[in-house]
Chain A
Amino acid sequence: MGGRFFFVSSCLGRFYFAIMAGKVKWVTDIEKSVLINNFEKRGWVQVTENEDWNFYWMSVQTIRNVFSVETGYRLSDDQIVNHFPNHYELTRKDLMVKNIKRYRKELEKEGSPLAEKDENGKYLYLDFVPVTYMLPADYNLFVEEFRKSPSSTWIMKPCGKAQGKGIFLINKLSQIKKWSRDSKTSSFVTQSTKEAYVISLYINNPLLIGGRKFDLRLYVLVSTYRPLRCYMYKLGFCRFCTVKYTPSTSELDNMFVHLTNVAIQKHGEDYNHIHGGKWTVNNLRLYLESTRGKEVTGKLFDEIHWIIVQSLKAVAPVMNNDKHCFECYGYDIIIDDKLKPWLIEVNASPSLTSSTANDRILKYNLINDTLNIAVPNGEIPDCKWNKSPPKEVLGNYEILYDEELAQGDGADRELRSRQGQSLGPRGGRSRDSGRTVLTTWK
């Protein structure tokens, strides 16, 4: 591991070495055509993990092993991987909430205007995650909160799982009291990753279109956390439930009503393989502008960008900003009927499976644009580069936030933001720790 092979000094060997030296060598544990086709079209060479490689598209299990303390693995300058070592600070449901709570408290302590609260004690600008508790650790705190509004619904999610697995809704304490009593672990203190759950206030007033609940999947690429540089993929999509939404308590068990994950919906009776229950974000924008107006729609999208940037800023201090890493996250966002966006979770390994033809095209282009940014010119990387790709290679990505740019001197910032980037509304908020460069877009 990490060893270098030197070719014997035979003519053929040197010739071979010369040819192959320029090509990026890739490995992946995720056998998906959208990935492999992209590697092959760049003329990259597939190798195994035991050989010298330049680019490794890892699964989250592999990254855990690579960066675990025991292995003492060291990446060389010409090696790049697609995850940050401790991405779980953002992508595990409980850690994400912990980090955001910590971030808010810090801002409050500093007296930052961002941490301003309203008369009910709710953060004005940083209230974008539904009230959440860790179980079993915060069980008592949760019970206190639950008793304040006993008719509310809560959603239980296992911390370490994905694709909607293990999720269920509750509206009575008894439904989880049983769970925590049943737990074979000796006390509330032991938290094995497998059994840790988060419980969040369920958003039971989601924005409905055609009577159906949907959520938004947005892709965000982070090339570095300090300074924070992140890109938003323009072509996100909405995932609709196949069944009409009802907040009725009799349907709390019907996952087809409540969970938008494709992994769940595709087993529904009405699942359609042509459109896959998906809408483009542009459709959503058109619909909202037409029925609700341009200002509120613009404000909604601005808020969505805002919460993504804030979530990244929240974890930036604890992230291992390893220069060999980049990461493409899948953000899940739900919009409620007051047009307020809520951050539900962030996925480190967004699905690369294609459920429809459009899907396949989208994901192929996503990977293509991601690689263009992460591995400049498709050449053997040097992780010492400044990670500032030229505008032309962004493809369908747009700069979401660039900390360096934002902290450039005032006049510079003004100038840069006027150059072709459409700025967004006349936002009535003071965003003092750097500006979001991208806001309203067409």
Chain B
Amino acid sequence: MLQEESDLSLVIAQIVQKLKGSNLYAQLERQAWASLQRPEIKLESLKEDIKEFFKISGWEKKLQNAVYSELSVFPLPSHPAAPPEHLKEPLVYMRKAQGSWEKRILKSLNSMCTELSIPLARKRPVGEQKELLNKWNEMGTDEPDLSLFRPVYAPKDFLEVLINLRNPNYENGDSLSFRTHLGLIQVPLKVKDIPELKEFFVELGLTTGQLGIDDSTQVPPELFENEHVRIGQKVLAEQDSAAAQQYIRQGSPTALRAELWALILNISSQPEDILYYEQLKTNVIQHDLLVDSLIYKDVKLTASNDDYYFVFEDYLYQVLLCFSRDTSVLGHFAYNSASPPKSYIRGKLGLEEYAVFYPPNGVIPFHGFSMYVAPLCFLYHEPSKLYQIFREMYVRFFFRLHSISSHPSGIVSLCLLFETLLQTYLPQLFYHLREIGAQPLRISFKWMVRAFSGYLATDQLLLLWDRILGYNSLEILADCPKSIVP
């Protein structure tokens, strides 16, 4: 009991600490001061009156949403004495594997850099800056020579690393039995089994209405759809993040989705946010980064050729180029097993004072990265809002899809979950695929890494991502391929 209480107070303290530095805090303070003018605020009962005022005016709700947001993202503290690496990743062998994978990526990037004699970063001459500013809305028409660039890695390279992951403390001396895991992933992580999944995803049960199924033309809308839409509108009117998250487990009506996602991710386009985005844009104009070419190449190879997303090509550059320069993204490395790559000013290798994170946001894009942004273009057409939503989706969910960790939503667990489910419930299919040399994971891996973007029709994909937001977990991605592979 005592432990729980002290855990809770630790969490509260940390959240309060975080929120104190936020814009919301400043706004609340201002509102509190302004409220003193109001007749209902009396000196004797100042605290209660202000609290009451916050409740009525909706500010309490905003604060609630902010706290809820922190809780969703915040990993629970395991032990007060745990070092920060444990927050990133508790298992040593996983940390080591992630570390060596990162070294490889960085080596690949550096060698490309040397081969092509292109600096990692350079300041653009004024003429080039002007030109880029003019072309900001149509960067897709630029045709730089990208033939010499290659993506730093592709999902299949990453899969090879995961296949070779081993826990040195685990001795599997048992001879082959029906319990033996036949899949590619050979690490003993705990994943949910079907009864646990059923409980976790209870709203996806057959007896509960779902959008995407129960709103098809054959089903009269009075049965489910109309009521569901009405509730959605109510949730939005209340501006309650937690309620929205619960609601969206049954899928979101298309017209409400953009607002619901923004509510769940606690994104509201404040002037500061727009200003921040403009600042990032200025950074893009002034400096050219090597990763820009990688982003360019990725968009040209993937989204530009996609039936659904080619229309939004220019938005992708506007989001991703700014994303690489956004140092606020570095914050997520506190709970990401990955660490941002470091680069050293020329000639000062190894000297910490001359180290910078490269790219500034610490995220090196891989082949297909731009597909994380593409589906969002169907929902948001204002660049700064699109940007905020993507950034939040990345630091909450997408980062787990390409870093090695033991987290239940991490890609390793998802792979293991997928293989386990398939082996347990469709063993003949699993065995057959193995026999013909097509390990199921090799097929479904790229789907999961991309969160199915580009592999599912957009309306289906958005329904899937509704559930990711609703359950605050990526486990649904492992469940999905099970129905597709057969």
Contact = CB atoms under 8 A, between A and B. Distances in A.
A244 B310 contact: no
Contacts of A364: none
Interface stretch (B37-45, B301-309, B337-345): B301-309
Contacts of A294: 253-255
Contacts of B254: 286, 289-290, 294
Interface string B267-307: 00000000000000000000000000000000000001111
A442 B141 contact: no
A282 B307 CA distance: 12
A291 B378 CA distance: 7
A283 B458 contact: yes
A211 interface: yes
A286 B212 CA distance: 13
A243 interface: yes
Contacts of A422: 217
Interface string B369-380: 000000001111
Interface in A411-442: 420, 422, 441-442
A263 interface: no
A243 B137 CA distance: 11
A77 interface: no
B348 interface: no
B141 A279 contact: no
B433 interface: no
Interface residue range, chain A: 20 to 34
Contacts of B217: 420, 422, 441-442
Interface stretch (A143-151, A184-192, A270-278, A387-395): A270-278
B236 to A, nearest CB: 12
A240 B310 CA distance: 10
The CB with the most chain A CB atoms within 10 A, among B306, B311, B312, B381, is that of: B311
A212 B315 CA distance: 12
Given A244-B137, A275-B306, A289 B315 contact: no
Nearest to B379: A290
B304 A272 contact: yes
A290 B304 contact: no
Contacts of B459: 282, 286
Nearest to B306: A275
B378 A211 contact: no
A211 B313 CA distance: 10
B141 A212 contact: no
A396 interface: no
A182 to B, nearest CB: 36
Given A283-B458, A291-B379, A291-B381, A209 B311 contact: yes
B203 to A, nearest CB: 22
B390 to A, nearest CB: 15
B124 interface: no
A43 B383 CA distance: 55
Interface string A222-257: 000000000000000000100110000000000000
Contacts of B137: 211, 244
A46 B253 CA distance: 50
Contacts of A287: 378
A424 B458 CA distance: 24
Interface in A316-362: 358
B378 A272 contact: no
Contacts of B57: none
A319 to B, nearest CB: 33
A212 B140 CA distance: 12
Given A286-B459, A289-B255, A442-B216, A275 B379 contact: no
B150 interface: no
A22 interface: no
Interface residue range, chain B: 20 to 34
Nearest to A298: B255
B314 A291 contact: no
B257 A290 contact: yes
Contacts of B11: none
A134 to B, nearest CB: 36
Contacts of A244: 137-138, 141, 314
B480 interface: no
A210 B304 contact: no
B199 to A, nearest CB: 32
Contacts of B305: 272, 274-275
Nearest to B221: A422
A293 interface: yes
Contacts of A272: 304-305, 310
Nearest to A441: B217
Contacts of A270: 140-141
A289 B307 CA distance: 19
Interface in B245-274: 253-255, 257-258
A279 B307 contact: yes
Contact of B312 (A210, A275, A290, A420): A210
Interface string A205-219: 000011110000000
Interface string A355-374: 00010000000000000000
A287 B119 CA distance: 40
A211 B317 CA distance: 14
Contacts of B308: 279, 283
Contact of B378 (A286, A358, A420, A441): A286
A441 B216 CA distance: 10
The CB with the most chain A CB atoms within 10 A, among B137, B253, B306, B308, is that of: B308
A343 B217 CA distance: 29
A282 B378 CA distance: 12
Contacts of B307: 274-275, 278-280, 358
A420 B138 CA distance: 45
Contacts of A277: 310
A244 B142 CA distance: 13
B261 to A, nearest CB: 10
Nearest to A214: B311
Nearest to B304: A272
A420 B216 CA distance: 12
A291 to B, nearest CB: 6
A275 B141 CA distance: 17
B212 to A, nearest CB: 11
A286 B456 CA distance: 14
A394 B255 CA distance: 30
Contacts of B311: 209-210, 212, 240, 279
B97 to A, nearest CB: 37
B306 A210 contact: no
Interface in A23-44: none
Contacts of B310: 272, 275, 277
A293 B216 contact: no
Nearest to B459: A286
A290 B376 CA distance: 10
Nearest to B140: A270
B313 to A, nearest CB: 7
Given A210-B311, A210-B313, A272-B305, A291 B138 contact: no
A277 B312 CA distance: 12
Interface in B339-369: none
B142 to A, nearest CB: 11
A256 B231 CA distance: 46
Nearest to B305: A274
Contacts of A211: 137-138, 314
Interface string B438-460: 00000000000000000000110
The 9 closest A-B pairs by CB, nearest first: A210-B311, A294-B255, A289-B254, A274-B305, A244-B138, A275-B307, A293-B255, A210-B312, A290-B379
14 contacts: A210-B314, A270-B141, A272-B304, A274-B305, A277-B310, A279-B308, A279-B311, A286-B378, A290-B255, A290-B378, A290-B379, A291-B258, A291-B378, A294-B253
Given A210-B315, A274-B307, 20 more contacts: A210-B311, A210-B377, A211-B138, A211-B314, A244-B314, A272-B305, A272-B310, A275-B305, A275-B307, A279-B311, A282-B459, A283-B308, A290-B254, A290-B258, A290-B379, A291-B258, A291-B381, A294-B254, A420-B217, A422-B217
